[in-house]
Amino acid sequence: MLCYVALIVLGIMSLFSAKYRPLFKRALKCVFLKATLRPCDTGLDEELKAQSIAGIMKISPKAASFVNRHFQIFSTLFTITFFLSMIFTAQGLYNFYLYGNCNGLEGGFCIYSGIIGNNPSLLKPPADLQGITYGNQSANITVVEFGCYVCPYTRAAESDIKSLLAKYNNTIYFVYKPFPLPGHNNSKEAALAAYCANEEGKYWEYRALLFDNQQDVEANGTAALTGFASRLGLVNFTACYSSGKYMPEIQKLAEQGVSCGLYGTPTIFVNGQAFVGENAAKQADTRIGQLLSK
């Protein structure tokens, strides 16, 4: 049984060191023989058993004797456990890649987050609900999104945000807090422009234009932003935008995001529980569903 485990482990080790390749070839031959219902004649299983028992014997001769007597059971259990853990690891990596969390939409503790230093469960929820708001202020569920209008991940999550707002409407209170990323051009300008559009009651329309024309915003800045305002017929936009009167609030909310420990956008807090990445809205949707079903 152990040759199946050896095939995987030695296969990986062989990628990094040629000294493991002869052993890998033996494991491969052994697995091939077993897969074709022939006995493994490479001696690899025997070697692995002997080395395992010898290793255990150094610690406890009694344990070595026990394992030796039941080696077939132990090796079978070990092999099954190994492959199960491989499956779970692969699933976790897939979820981590897709959702930013190895538990997928469920969220919660994820060791990969800890390894790369980004762990949503360590984020602190914002202290207030200041920002651009939507929904029922007295709702029991608050959803706070930290986003950047020129961040591709925030844009990728936007359709899920829209679905989420349409789905839960007045059962939640939604707050958008701008978190302009310094790595993107015109991120602060876009946040300012959105505030100005909000002043004239056209926030969501303007927000849609920002995400739909994200590259234009990043490349052309004020020209693009002014153009969107014209398309929406905003009359006070230029004055508002030129004054920069919302910049202090944008700056304050960005600092709030930093104090929350944000490491990426979008970051969505559902009653304080954080979800990060382009699938954050999907995870938030699941979490809201759980909260409402209680």
The beta-strand segments (E) located in 43-126 are: none
Nearest distance in Å: CB 280, another protein: 51
> Which segment (5-13, 46-54, 83-91, 271-279) binds another protein by CB under 8 A?
46-54
Q: CA separation (Å) from 116 to 88, 100, 249? A: 19, 11, 32
Pick the closer one to another protein by CB: 65 or 230: 65
**Eight-class DSSP state of 193:** H
> Tokens 């456990």 label which residue?
81
> Which segment (42-50, 163-171, 178-186, 231-239) binds another protein by CB under 8 A?
42-50
Q: CA separation (Å) from 203 to 17, 146, 152, 176, 275? A: 58, 16, 19, 11, 24
Q: Of 294, 232, 268, 280, which is closest to residue 98 (Cα–Cα)?
A: 280
> Which segment (49-57, 84-92, 238-246, 254-262) binds another protein by CB under 8 A?
49-57
Asked if 271 and 154 count as a contact pair (C-beta separation under 8 A), the reply is no
Nearest distance in Å: CB 66, another protein: 10
Nearest distance in Å: CB 69, another protein: 8
Pick the closer one to another protein by CB: 9 or 156: 9
Nearest distance in Å: CB 289, another protein: 56
Quote the CA–CA distance of 147 and 154 in Å, as a whole number: 6
Residues 106-145 close enough to bind another protein by CB under 8 A = none
SS3 content of the chain, % helix, strand, coil (to 5): 65, 10, 25
Number of residues this chain uses to bind another protein (CB under 8 A):
16
Residues 214-233 close enough to bind another protein by CB under 8 A = none
When binding is defined by CB under 8 A, the residue of 15, 22, 46, 111 that contacts another protein is 46
86: tokens are 């491989």
Q: What crossing angle do the helices spanning 2-16 and 21-35 adopt, rounded to 10°? A: 150
By CB under 8 A, tell whether 50 contacts another protein: yes
Pick the closer one to another protein by CB: 58 or 294: 58
Pick the closer one to another protein by CB: 47 or 249: 47
| Residue 176 phi, psi dihedral angles, 5° rounding | -105, 125
The 60-79 site mask, x for binding another protein (CB under 8 A), equals: -x--xx--xx----------
* Binding site residues, another protein, CB under 8 A: 43, 46-47, 49-51, 53-55, 57-58, 61, 64-65, 68-69
